[in-house]
């Protein structure tokens, strides 16, 4: 429709020229048709750039190219979160992002926090293309709180030329034979995968006795660990320089090490890898609802999915996205999204006693 | 009577600033440590003022053990730094070299460059395939398959990097205290028949001790609470008390109450140390006069 | 004969000094090398020469934004620290008042507080009072940190200035502000500039306290630390850090040299 396109272009030019705030009744020539008028009102009301709270590395424009096509010149403004707790802290401190990306285990907490509102699926056409079980994982109390995007695993990366695992198991992270060559992820979920190794039924909700056992195991095997990594670069550069042979890692790390010509394998433990799904959530009272939905829609596109899979090695929830490399597909199970569900893997989920897990993990680090 | 800018006018602003943004915040940490105030929570919980966090701190062996570990590491770093900086400062101050200020500046300048990047540079040097190990492999001293891997992500790495960071800084106060030394004292000692070594031990060293003590303190105190370097090169074994404090406020699931207790304990120890040192230095000055 | 050092001792110490300097500068030189290294991860062996990191840094808007933020924070906090520092220094040197020891202990005490404790105390303070974290909160923290340094530079210089000069000016009818503006200030100006530079560089490079009170705009050190989280960012950051380090080295060294020259010429009398 030419009318609305014209107004769109006029509005983005105004945005670029940074005129007096829209809504001040500035010299916008009234659109001739009612539709153009409605569209103009909508866009006029939604002024300013889209505010996104996301993880470092996801601000890359190829990941939301359709959004930039639709709203040229309106690049979203990114603030970075280091983890979900940090995101919550920023929200409590007054940050008002339109879109945030927590991971699936935090969706219930975030939904209850009062900082978010559910999405309107009708405004996200690409939602139909997304993997149904992942979409379901983003639902809470009957509403669509999270739109699934990137997915992948937490598993074990190791050097095939240096390491011979006794079994495909989380136990490789405890292996005394490779003392000083192992890296764990610095997160309280260590208690979870320790719990899987110990064979507990519900590692996300362990009893006090089970937690003590998991904690003791971690404390006793800490001596084999060379680093607790919280930054991928740290872990990757240590791996690349030969300081590490075994690491708790994400698929992108396997991709990066292969690119460095190292002989590595990404091992899925028999007790089940941990899997995760990144969920886009919508800020409560977001003044840019239309833009936010468009952003989520752009992220959900095949274009984005393919780029993500090819470049970061993470899966994408869009069932039609196909990466180009066969190695990538087989190593990272990119064509089998069901691989992230039970019994193959354990989707990261809410931990009812997260505060206790946190304290016990801090004690492991301090001991 | 001439008019002059009244003292309250001068003192007012700095005093208020420090009271509001330095003293009061510390008091507030105290409030958090007894749960009179609490950090952000998703679900509101009941809070009552209590010293539970303090009791837990003193009864659990974990925190005090970690603190003691950090103290030991800081002691080693501070002693090494002072031991290395002293000869250099001595050389600059007392050898009569013409360009001493320029040389001093060259010595201090690295301290003015980016701290984080200097730490990162060491990560590159100490890694299994880093400068040091690849040099050892190239010269055949060690085979390439057995690099020195205890260098990085260890207590050693933390202490080495911290020493590296602080040496330039420490050289300055030691230099100043040696430069203000009256050379005539040394000449008098020589006239009385003392050897250079004796003059050093009996005259120079004692007189420079206040400067050395100040330098020691200036390294020791920040180092005990260090968390940035350990987080970058320390690994699990180089984890220090400051890391625990920082973690309790930022990662995973924040626990502001316990974090406040740890922070106040550190502050208390530091305050006691500073007070003790300044009394020692005052005594030292009185004794030497 | 030299009463402090024998010729042998002098030789040994000279070598020691030289080795220490090499030790201090080697890691910096290594960073310089890696800023030209054609690889995303800084590890040996080297992968070839490239200028692309410098180019990427120049075109990375987030990195530039962080540098700008740090510049703004440093500019504001250094001005604040110098202002407060001048006030406090004049009070300490030229005035007698009760509690002078306590006051000087107070203004110097930020030197001895571990930054992790100070950082969280500010975090908790702002949270309790309800002030959102922002550039302003970082500026506030940095003023506190830099204040002792400015005082340590200004007080010695003020002590050197003959108080008779000020009294003479007053005798000639100058008010206190005039005396300060026309007599004292010109004489302490090099020290003021020095103090300002020290405060600026301290703030620009400061990570620990800033990490606790940062709002939504990252400062350069925070960006730097965060860049360690994503491999592709690291080489650019090394490139810009090399630039920042060299610039700050040149600026501070020449400022210090300049200060000494100017002060020698100024002596303790103006004009």
Q: Mind listing the pLDDT tens digit for each residue in B188-240?
A: 888 888 887 888 888 888 888 888 888 898 899 999 999 999 988 888 889 99
Neighbours of chain A (3+ CB pairs under 8 A): B, C
> Would C40 be classed as within a structural domain?
no
> Would C12 be classed as within a structural domain?
no
- Band (pLDDT 50/70/90 cuts) for residue A10 is very low
Q: Which residues of C touch B186 (CB under 8 A)?
A: 3-4
Q: Mind listing the pLDDT tens digit for each residue in C15-48?
A: 999 999 999 998 888 878 878 888 766 666 677 8
Query: Of A150-164, B126-140, B268-282, which gets the smallest average pLDDT?
Result: B126-140
Question: Residue A3 pLDDT more than 50?
Answer: no
Instruction: Show the tokens assigned to A121.
Output: 């699926």
Please give the average per-residue pLDDT across A141-145, as a whole number: 93
A243/B128 CB distance under 8 A: yes
A82/C226 CB distance under 8 A: yes
Q: How far from each other are the two terminal CA atoms of chain A, in whole angstroms?
A: 66
Q: Which residue has the tokens 């010595």?
A: B107
Instruction: Show the tokens assigned to C98.
Output: 């009760």
Q: How many Cβ atoms sit within 10 Å of the Cβ of residue C264?
A: 9
> Would A58 be classed as within a structural domain?
yes
**Which of B40, B66, B153 is nearest residue A366 as measured by Cβ atoms?**
B66
Question: Residue A9 pLDDT more than 70?
Answer: no
Greater pLDDT, B17 or A10: B17
Question: How many residues in total does chain B contain?
Answer: 289
The CA radius of gyration of chain A, in Å to the nearest whole number, is 23
Q: Give the phi and the psi of residue A282 in degrees, each rounded to 5.
A: -105, 130
Same domain, A229 and A355: yes
Angle at the Cα of B211 from the Cα atoms of B209 and B216, rounded to 5 degrees: 90
CATH number at residue C172: 1.10.3720.10
Beta strand A147-159 with A315-316 is antiparallel
Greater pLDDT, A154 or C236: A154
> Would A104 be classed as within a structural domain?
yes
- A183 strand-pairing partners: A227, A247
Question: Residue A44 pLDDT more than 80?
Answer: no
Same domain, A210 and A157: yes
Can you tell me the distance from the alpha carbon of A125 to that of A128, in angstroms, rounded to the nearest whole number? 6
> Would C193 be classed as within a structural domain?
yes
The count of structural domains within chain C is 1
Domains of chain B, first to last? 69-288 (1.10.3720.10)
> Would C13 be classed as within a structural domain?
no
Same domain, A72 and A144: yes
- Band (pLDDT 50/70/90 cuts) for residue A175 is very high
Q: Which residues of B95-114 are buried (b: 16+ CB within 10 A; e: fewer)?
A: beeeebeebbbbbbbbbbbb
Q: Mind listing the pLDDT tens digit for each residue in C77-86?
A: 999 999 999 9
C43/A241 CB distance under 8 A: yes
> Would C148 be classed as within a structural domain?
yes
Interface probe with B: pick from C1, C2, C3, C85, most Cβ of B within 10 Å: C3
Query: Of A62-71, B51-60, B181-190, B264-273, which gets the smallest average pLDDT?
Result: B181-190
C107/B88 CB distance under 8 A: no
> Would C215 be classed as within a structural domain?
yes
- Band (pLDDT 50/70/90 cuts) for residue C241 is confident
Interface probe with C: pick from B8, B15, B21, B178, most Cβ of C within 10 Å: B21
Q: Which residues of B touch A89 (CB under 8 A)?
A: 40, 254
**pLDDT confidence of residue B263:** 95
Instruction: Show the tokens assigned to C173.
Output: 């009818």
Same domain, A129 and A42: no
Give how far A262 is from chain B: nearest CA, Å: 14
> Would C37 be classed as within a structural domain?
no
Same domain, A207 and A315: no
**pLDDT confidence of residue C232:** 56
Please give the average per-residue pLDDT across C226-251, as a whole number: 73
Q: Mind listing the pLDDT tens digit for each residue in A258-279?
A: 888 999 999 999 999 998 899 9
> Would A29 be classed as within a structural domain?
yes
B112/C106 CB distance under 8 A: no
> Going by C-beta distance under 8 Å and a sequence separation of 6 or more, which residues neighbour residue C251?
C197, C201
Can you tell me the distance from the alpha carbon of B85 to that of A141, in angstroms, rounded to the nearest whole number? 65
> Would A337 be classed as within a structural domain?
no
CATH number at residue A359: 3.40.190.10
Question: Residue B134 pLDDT more than 80?
Answer: no
**pLDDT confidence of residue A195:** 95
CA B215 to chain centre: 9
Interface residue B69 vs chain A (CB under 8 A): no
Q: Contact B27/C195 with Cβ under 8 angstroms?
A: no
**pLDDT confidence of residue C230:** 53
Please give the average per-residue pLDDT across C221-246, as a whole number: 74
Q: Show the beta-strand stretches assigned E in A160-294.
A: 182-185, 225-229, 246-249, 264-267, 273-283
Can you tell me the distance from the alpha carbon of A290 to that of A99, in angstroms, rounded to the nearest whole number? 12
A82/B250 CB distance under 8 A: yes
**pLDDT confidence of residue B42:** 56
Instruction: Show the tokens assigned to B138.
Output: 């190239």
**pLDDT confidence of residue C268:** 57
A37 lies in which domain range?
1-47
- Band (pLDDT 50/70/90 cuts) for residue C177 is confident
Angle at the Cα of B69 from the Cα atoms of B65 and B73, rounded to 5 degrees: 170
Same domain, A115 and A169: no
Q: Contact B41/A88 with Cβ under 8 angstroms?
A: no
Can you tell me the distance from the alpha carbon of B254 to that of A177, in angstroms, rounded to the nearest whole number? 35
pTM for this predicted structure: 0.79
Can you tell me the distance from the alpha carbon of A178 to that of A224, in angstroms, rounded to the nearest whole number? 7
**pLDDT confidence of residue A43:** 54
Instruction: Show the tokens assigned to C84.
Output: 């407060």
Q: Mind listing the pLDDT tens digit for each residue in A64-77?
A: 999 999 988 888 98
Can you tell me the distance from the alpha carbon of B115 to that of B86, in angstroms, rounded to the nearest whole number? 22
Q: Mind listing the pLDDT tens digit for each residue in A103-122?
A: 998 899 899 888 999 999 99
Q: Mind listing the pLDDT tens digit for each residue in A78-96?
A: 888 877 877 887 787 678 8
C174 lies in which domain range?
53-266
Angle at the Cα of A281 from the Cα atoms of A279 and A285, rounded to 5 degrees: 180
Same domain, A240 and A360: yes
Q: Which residue has the tokens 């983005």?
A: A12
- Band (pLDDT 50/70/90 cuts) for residue B169 is confident
- Band (pLDDT 50/70/90 cuts) for residue C8 is confident
Question: Residue A7 pLDDT more than 50?
Answer: no
Greater pLDDT, C87 or A14: C87
When the pLDDT of each residue in chain C is averaged and rounded to a whole number, the result is 85
When the pLDDT of each residue in chain A is averaged and rounded to a whole number, the result is 83
Please give the average per-residue pLDDT across A9-19, as a whole number: 35
Query: Of C40-44, C91-95, C109-113, C196-200, which gets the smallest average pLDDT?
Result: C40-44
Q: Contact B91/C16 with Cβ under 8 angstroms?
A: yes
Can you tell me the distance from the alpha carbon of B234 to that of B224, in angstroms, rounded to the nearest whole number? 14
Same domain, A110 and A239: no
HSE of B56, CA atoms in CB hemisphere, 13 A: 14
C31/B117 CB distance under 8 A: yes
Give how far A274 is from chain C: nearest CA, Å: 21
Can you tell me the distance from the alpha carbon of B74 to that of B226, in angstroms, rounded to the nearest whole number? 9
**pLDDT confidence of residue B44:** 60
Q: Contact B11/C137 with Cβ under 8 angstroms?
A: no
**pLDDT confidence of residue A2:** 35
B91/C17 CB distance under 8 A: yes
Give how far B287 is from chain A: nearest CA, Å: 43
Interface probe with C: pick from A56, A232, A247, most Cβ of C within 10 Å: A56
Question: Residue B156 pLDDT more than 50?
Answer: yes
Q: Contact B203/B189 with Cβ under 8 angstroms?
A: yes
Same domain, A157 and A237: yes
> Would A83 be classed as within a structural domain?
yes
Q: Which residues of C touch B199 (CB under 8 A)?
A: 3-4
**pLDDT confidence of residue A265:** 93
Q: Mind listing the pLDDT tens digit for each residue in A305-332?
A: 999 888 888 889 998 887 777 777 777 7
How many residue pairs from chains A and B have C-beta atoms closer than 8 A?
A: 94
A240/C41 CB distance under 8 A: yes
Q: Give the phi and the psi of residue C123 in degrees, each rounded to 5.
A: -55, -50
Q: How far from each other are the two terminal CA atoms of chain C, in whole angstroms?
A: 42
The count of structural domains within chain A is 3
**pLDDT confidence of residue A13:** 36
Interface probe with A: pick from C39, C230, C237, most Cβ of A within 10 Å: C230
> Would A336 be classed as within a structural domain?
no
When the pLDDT of each residue in chain B is averaged and rounded to a whole number, the result is 84
Can you tell me the distance from the alpha carbon of A340 to that of A348, in angstroms, rounded to the nearest whole number? 10
Q: Mind listing the pLDDT tens digit for each residue in B2-46?
A: 445 667 777 889 999 999 999 999 999 999 999 888 876 655 667
DSSP string, A109-174: HHHHTTSEE---GGG-GGGGGB-HHHHHHTEETTEE--EEEEEEEEEEEEETTT---SSSSGGGGG
């Amino acid at each position: 429709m030419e009318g609305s396109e014209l107004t769109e272009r006029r509005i983005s030019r105004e945005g670029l020229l940074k005129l007096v705030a829209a809504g001040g009744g500035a010299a916008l020539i009234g659109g001739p048709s009612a539709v153009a008028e409605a569209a103009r009102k909508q866009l006029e009301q939604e002024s300013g750039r889209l505010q996104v709270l996301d993880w470092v590395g996801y601000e890359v424009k190829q990941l939301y190219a359709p959004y930039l096509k639709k709203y040229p010149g309106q690049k979203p403004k990114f603030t970075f979160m280091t983890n979900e707790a940090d995101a919550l802290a920023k929200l409590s401190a007054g940050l008002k992002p339109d879109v945030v990306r927590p991971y699936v285990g935090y969706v219930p907490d975030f939904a209850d926090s009062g900082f978010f509102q559910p999405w309107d699926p009708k405004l996200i056409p690409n939602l139909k293309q997304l993997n149904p079980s992942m979409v379901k994982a983003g639902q809470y109390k009957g509403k669509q709180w999270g739109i699934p995007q990137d997915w992948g695993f937490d598993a074990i990366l190791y050097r095939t030329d240096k390491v011979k695992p006794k079994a495909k198991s989380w136990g490789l992270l405890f292996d005394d034979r490779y003392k000083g060559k192992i890296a764990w992820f610095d997160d309280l979920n260590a208690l979870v995968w320790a719990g899987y190794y110990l064979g507990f039924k519900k590692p996300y909700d362990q009893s006090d006795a089970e937690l003590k056992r998991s904690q003791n195991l971690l404390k006793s095997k800490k001596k084999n660990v060379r680093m607790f990594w919280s930054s991928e670069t740290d872990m990757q550069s240590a791996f690349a320089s030969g300081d590490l042979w075994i690491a708790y890692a994400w698929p992108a790390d396997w991709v990066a090490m292969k690119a460095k010509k190292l002989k590595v394998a990404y091992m899925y433990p028999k007790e089940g890898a941990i899997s995760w799904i990144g969920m886009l959530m919508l800020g409560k009272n977001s003044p840019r609802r239309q833009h936010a939905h468009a952003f989520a829609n752009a992220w959900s596109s095949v274009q984005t999915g393919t780029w993500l899979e090819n470049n970061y090695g993470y899966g994408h929830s869009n069932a039609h996205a196909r990466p180009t490399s066969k190695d990538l597909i087989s190593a990272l199970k990119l064509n089998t999204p069901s691989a992230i569900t039970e019994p193959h893997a354990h989707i990261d989920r809410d931990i009812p006693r997260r505060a206790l897990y946190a304290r016990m993990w801090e004690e492991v680090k301090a001991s | 009577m001439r008019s002059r800018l009244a003292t309250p006018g001068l003192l007012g602003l700095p005093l208020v600033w420090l009271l509001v943004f330095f003293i009061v915040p510390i008091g507030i940490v105290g409030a958090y440590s007894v749960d009179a105030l609490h950090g952000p929570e998703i679900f509101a919980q009941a809070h009552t003022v209590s010293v539970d966090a303090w009791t837990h701190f003193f009864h659990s062996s974990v925190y005090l053990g970690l603190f003691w570990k950090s103290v030991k590491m800081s002691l080693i770093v501070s002693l090494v730094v002072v031991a290395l900086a002293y000869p250099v400062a001595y050389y600059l101050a007392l050898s009569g070299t013409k360009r001493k200020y320029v040389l001093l500046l060259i010595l201090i300048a690295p301290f003015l460059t980016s701290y984080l990047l200097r730490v990162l540079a060491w990560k590159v040097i100490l890694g299994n395939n880093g400068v040091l190990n690849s040099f050892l492999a190239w010269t055949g001293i060690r085979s390439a398959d057995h690099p020195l891997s205890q260098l990085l992500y260890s207590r050693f790495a933390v202490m080495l990097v911290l020493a590296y960071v602080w040496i330039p800084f420490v050289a300055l106060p030691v230099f100043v205290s040696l430069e203000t030394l009256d050379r005539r004292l040394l000449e008098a000692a020589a006239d009385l028949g003392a050897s250079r070594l004796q003059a050093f031990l009996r005259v120079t060293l004692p007189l420079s001790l206040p400067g050395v003590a100040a330098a020691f303190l200036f390294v020791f105190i920040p180092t005990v609470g260090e968390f940035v370097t350990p987080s970058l090169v320390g690994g699990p074994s180089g984890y220090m008390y400051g890391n625990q404090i920082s973690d309790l406020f930022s990662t995973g699931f924040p626990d502001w109450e316990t974090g406040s207790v740890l922070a106040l304990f550190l502050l208390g120890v530091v305050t006691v140390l500073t007070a003790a040192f300044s009394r020692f230095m005052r005594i030292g000055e009185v004794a030497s006069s | 004969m030299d009463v402090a050092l024998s010729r042998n001792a002098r030789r040994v110490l000279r070598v020691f000094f030289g080795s220490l300097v090499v030790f201090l500068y080697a890691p910096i030189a290594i960073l310089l090398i890696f800023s030209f290294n054609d690889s995303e991860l800084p590890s040996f062996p080297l992968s070839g020469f490239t200028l692309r990191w410098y180019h990427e840094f120049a075109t990375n808007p987030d990195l530039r934004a962080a540098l700008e933020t740090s510049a703004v924070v440093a500019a504001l906090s250094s001005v604040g620290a110098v202002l407060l520092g001048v006030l406090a220094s004049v009070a300490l040197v030229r005035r007698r008042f009760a509690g002078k020891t306590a006051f000087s202990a107070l203004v110097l005490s930020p030197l001895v507080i571990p930054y992790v404790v100070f950082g969280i105390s500010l975090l908790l303070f702002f949270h309790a009072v309800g002030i959102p974290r922002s550039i302003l909160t970082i500026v506030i923290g940095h003023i506190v940190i830099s204040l002792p340094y400015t005082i340590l530079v200004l007080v010695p210089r003020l002590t050197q200035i003959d108080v008779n000069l000020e009294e003479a000016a007053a005798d000639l009818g100058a008010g206190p502000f005039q005396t300060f503006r026309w007599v004292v200030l010109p004489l302490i100006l090099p020290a003021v500039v020095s103090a300002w530079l020290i405060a600026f560089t301290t703030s620009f490079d400061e990570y620990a306290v800033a990490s606790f009170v940062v709002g939504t705009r990252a400062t350069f050190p925070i960006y730097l630390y965060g860049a360690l989280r994503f491999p592709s960012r690291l080489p650019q950051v090394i490139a810009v850090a090399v630039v920042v380090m060299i610039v700050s080295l040149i600026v501070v060294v020449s400022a210090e040299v300049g200060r000494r020259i100017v002060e020698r010429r100024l002596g303790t009398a103006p004009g």
